[in-house]
Structure 1
Amino acid sequence: MGGNELGEFLRARRAQRSPQNAGLLSSGRRKVAGLRREEVAVLAGVNADYYTRLEQGRENHPSPQVIAALGRALDLDQDALDHLYRLAGAAPEHPPAPVPGTVSAELRQLMDGYPHTPAFVLNRTLDVLATNKLADALFSPFRRAGNLARMTFLDPAGRHFYARWNATAQATVANLRVAAGFDPHDPALRRLVEELSEGSEQFRKLWESHQVRGKSREPKQLVHPDVGPLTLTYQAFDVRSAPGQQLVIYHAEPGTAHADALALLGSLHAPPGRSRTVEA
């Protein structure tokens, strides 16, 4: 990651906003992709020189009013707008609290109470902090279920496990961008981004697009080598006692072939015992 996260984000999102969608007349060949700086400034109602300074990193703290106006000009959704606020320092002044690296005994006990569905805990950088037995079974094709981004981009199993790999890759990178908004200087995040950028050209290109999105409700379409295709819905819950952690629970529609396959997977793979904590 560079040292001008705010400017890089604005440039990337400006390049993705077409004049037509912004309601601007455009004729002839344009030298830049998307909107010009001057066009963004007009749409946001700010001085063009001021906007240029924002992109160049010479101005880093726009007011909340300017942030909101830029969000409208760039047509940012809520996740991306929240990210822009954080990059601009409009979040609370105190440094972000570190995300706990361990999962409480109470949460692990709760996960063990879901024997028929995979459950696991993530932090913002997609480290898998803990899993229950069926989650271990689900992720068994991977060399190590330690981080969802590494599993997607660096583990050969990812290309086969995720039936819609391109969509999964885009969502994974967009999730990591959310983490960058909370703490762009997080050493663990920087190391992860560097590792993924060096190991995967696809990741590098997606990271440079600056797409930002929290977890959606789209079903997960997976292919497990032992039981075949699995379509699973999921819910993600913020852990209030450990800000930055999320409990994720996968679910198969009862009475379907996917539910039968998930039950078979559990009988084949899940050994007796309790949920396990994963060393990130």
Structure 2
Amino acid sequence: MEGENHTEVLQFLLLGLSDDPQVQLPLFGMFLSMYLVTVLGNLLIILAASSDSHLHTPMYFFLSNLSFVDICFTSTTVPKMLVNIQAQSKDISYLQCLIQAYFFMVFAGMDNLLISIMAFDRFVAICHPLNYTTIRNSQFISLLVLISWIIVLTVSLVHVLLIKWLTFSRVTEIPHFFCEITQILKVASSDTFINNITVYVATALLGVFPAAGILFSYFQIVSSLLKLSSIASKFKAFSTCGSHLCVVCLFYGTTLGVYLSSAVTHSSHGSTVASVMYTVVTPMLNPFIYSLRNKDVKGALGRLIKTCPP
């Protein structure tokens, strides 16, 4: 197998979003700005939820975890892309690529699971309000988050260990701006049947099942709301999950758009551009959705800003 290597791949090349030198500076400025806004916005959500006693509830505990995951999610891809643009290089080492793919899968999976847990939280709060405190005690919600971390860390580790058995060319081009698992499998020189089966299983476990849980939760919520006689009561109850519903639509809408665009156009560049939506844009918009639509968060942010020294 001359020209190929099993364990000593010299480098991968991330082809990025564009080869045009004239767009590199605008790309750098745009992604740096979006990254800073993402980090700042999600940090403010975490600080507001942790510092304000009014927000010490399960929903805002999950929201703080989601903000933390969104910061990490974006940090796995954008900083490396910015470094490559600044250095006018496309290189990423084999080890760095595996590490990036691992943590990308971890935080993408946690995003899915946290969003589904938040949907279940709203289902319990609206459909079983009398049992809400009993069901959603601090030990239970901490256990849910811990189990979610264990699942995504284990599943992602299995993916990376299986990739270690694949062979690649000494200089392998990845038509993406980060080491995404499916793109890595496409450029492998050896058989990826087992890897692809594992991807399907992981997609079902971390994607399909959480999405089904969200649909079930909101089906039950809508059914409960329809039974209410007062329009004001319906609006008040549904407004408690309005922000989360917006996040669900944004996350799953952009993710579905990536795969649909890839299936329709069969273009790796089109899929790469579409990936920017759920890897960069969605984590950036989540804090705005929760702060602009939620009076409690806006109040906590206002009090947090007032306590800051001038």
Superposition TM-score tier, normalisation by shorter sequence: under 0.3
Larger proportion of helix: 2
**Normalised TM-score (structure 2):** 0.24
Structure scoring higher RCO (CA < 8 A, sep ≥ 6) equals 2
Larger proportion of strand: 1
